[in-house]
Structure 1
Amino acid sequence: MKHLIALVLFLTANLCFSQNKTEIYVIGNIHDSVPNYNPQILSAILEKIKPDIIMHEVDSEGMKEYETMSDVKGNEITASNIYTKKHPVTVRLPFDFEGRNQYRKDKGMVPTDNLTVQLIDSLYKTKSLTTEETKIYESFLNSTQELMKTAALSPEKFNNKTTDKLSEKRQDSQYHELLKITEKRQEFAARFVTKPNGEKISYREGFKLMSGFWDLRNQTMASNIAKTADKNPGKKIVVLTGFLHRYYLIKLLNKMNNNKFVIKEFYDL
């Protein structure tokens, strides 16, 4: 009898514990309003989840702008405003790398990142890349095109494991495979931009820094989300991020999980 009572108490405790786990919904977004994904669609998703906390892909300054500026646009903040107007007790928090935009400019990652890809594209179109370099760049182009097609579908289509794998392939191609081109070719070492402090930085070095920052930024964002989850047991947290970040954040959150939170999909409710 004692063993039976102990078993019942154990199962009851486990049930209560599992019910008290924080729920995290990582929603991959298209930032700008399009017919297949707009603030009304996202606000309907938020209503379905009914989150206690909404986390935005901005830093603390960006969050202040979100909350105070009347002309801020974008799917995430517009939908968030619609939801919090109906549910004013909802907490909104930033989770991005602090000072992200200025940091990238100061280090010279911007605008070397875009200029580097533009140069690779120019070399590709003039057939100046080697066979191996061409394969690398075409793989990047093909995965980008496939993702663009997926992004034209319903939000469930760009919020699932299949698209997460494609996003990972595309981002790995951009931030790791393209380095094989920039590290070898002299064109990327011979072109420069000037940083805010007046120093020059080559396309090669700037793009390399940006590639490293992709990992650092996602690691920081995942850590901020995990800390928020740890501080808010039993709450529902919606993380609004660009859908290209989704795979990375979920992967890191699963590694950080201390069995206090569970990651769910909005369409499984």
Structure 2
Amino acid sequence: MKKTISILFTLLFSIYSFAQKTEIIVLGNIHQPVPNYNSDTIVTILDKIKPDFLLQEIDSSFFNVDFTFKTPPKENEGLASVKYIDKNTKAQMRPFDFEGRNEYRKINGFNPTEGLALKLVDSLYNENRLTKKQAKVYKKYIDLLEPLKIAASKDPRSFNNSINDKICKERQYYQYHKLLSVMKERSELSNTYYTQANAQKISYLKGFQLASEFWDLRNKTMAKNILKIAEENPGKKIIVLTGFMHRYYIISELKKLTKKDRNIIMKEFYD
């Protein structure tokens, strides 16, 4: 009798555990409408997988207290989410981005110095002023963008797979690590300054270095925010709507964070 009760309890627990499985789908997107990808493309995906929560790559300042948008969205992800929720009223949105992202960039001075630093290196490259080794790094950085452009011109699955993720990872490694090493070797970057609104000056090198550090901080923070939402909503299906360049990092971090949690499953939208 005791053995029967034990087996029954184990069976019931297994059924309960299965019912509480939380699915996380990280969908890499192109933010702005293009001929092959727009909000309707995302809606088609959403209609297929039927998510309970739609996570947006923005912070809480964009939302009302009921997690509706304060202002009408302009990007593909937001537009698609509104369309989907209009038809599926129980579905909800949540922000998962680094809080105060844009202000953080301005306060710390790497907006716009990151872009200015890249433009300066580009001009040095085009003027043949980089060393052969430095030029090789920059050319590789440029070349890595080409297969990503090709993938982005195709269907969603083309830029939502492990092969494309690997290219994104290498490209961002070249941008925030290899290029940073090149910049550290060039006096033009350390001796060129941008004057911020508060009248403080920041070198292009320092600005880019801060941007490099923020790339890691932001992605790790986003993954933690996603996990927090998942843990607060067991048994739900969650879709993470992010730019496809972030996809590899977020997936990698989530796998680390959920390594010992059998109740959270990572899936692709086409599984």
In the superposition, the TM-score normalised over structure 2's length comes to 0.93
Secondary structure of the 2:176 match is helix
Correspondence 1:1-269 to 2 at 5 A: 6=6, 9-11=9-11, 13-64=13-64, 67-70=69-72, 72-257=73-258, 258-268=261-271
> Aligned partner of 1:54: which letter?
L
Give, in angstroms, the shift of residue 20 of structure 1.
Answer: 1.4
Secondary structure of the 2:144 match is helix
Give, in angstroms, the shift of residue 11 of structure 1.
Answer: 5.0
Give, in angstroms, the shift of residue 222 of structure 1.
Answer: 0.4
Give, in angstroms, the shift of residue 9 of structure 1.
Answer: 4.7
Q: What CA distance in whole angstroms lies between the structure 1 residues aligned with 2:121 and 2:75?
A: 30
Asked if the contact 1:27/1:239 (under 8 Å) is kept, the reply is: yes
- The 1:20–1:66 alpha-carbon spacing in structure 2 relative to 1, beyond 3 Å, is closer
> Aligned partner of 1:157: which letter?
S
Q: What CA distance in whole angstroms lies between the structure 1 residues aligned with 2:50 and 2:12?
A: 26
Deviations along 1:226-263, whole A, 9 cap, x unmatched? Answer: 00000000001111000000000010001111223111
Q: How many residues in Structure 1 have an aligned counterpart in Structure 2?
A: 267
> Aligned partner of 2:153: which letter?
A
Q: What CA distance in whole angstroms lies between the structure 2 residues aligned with 1:53 and 1:83?
A: 11
Give, in angstroms, the shift of residue 18 of structure 1.
Answer: 2.8
- The 1:116–1:4 alpha-carbon spacing in structure 2 relative to 1, beyond 3 Å, is same
Secondary structure of the 2:130 match is coil
Asked if the contact 1:150/1:157 (under 8 Å) is kept, the reply is: yes
Off by >2 Å, runs of 4+ in structure 1: 1-16, 62-66
CA RMSD of aligned residues (A): 1.7
Q: What CA distance in whole angstroms lies between the structure 2 residues aligned with 1:19 and 1:79?
A: 28
Asked if the contact 2:68/2:93 (under 8 Å) is kept, the reply is: no
Secondary structure of the 2:270 match is helix
Give, in angstroms, the shift of residue 8 of structure 1.
Answer: 6.2
Q: What CA distance in whole angstroms lies between the structure 2 residues aligned with 1:228 and 1:256?
A: 13
Deviations along 1:176-213, whole A, 9 cap, x unmatched? Answer: 11011111110001111112322100000000000000
| Deviating more after overlay: 15-24 vs 143-152 | 15-24
Unaligned runs of 5+ in 2: none
Q: What CA distance in whole angstroms lies between the structure 1 residues aligned with 2:53 and 2:174?
A: 33
Deviations along 1:56-108, whole A, 9 cap, x unmatched? Answer: 000111335971323x3111011011001111221111100111011101111
Asked if the contact 1:106/1:196 (under 8 Å) is kept, the reply is: no
- The 1:140–1:86 alpha-carbon spacing in structure 2 relative to 1, beyond 3 Å, is same
In the superposition, the TM-score normalised over structure 1's length comes to 0.94
| Deviating more after overlay: 200-209 vs 80-89 | 80-89
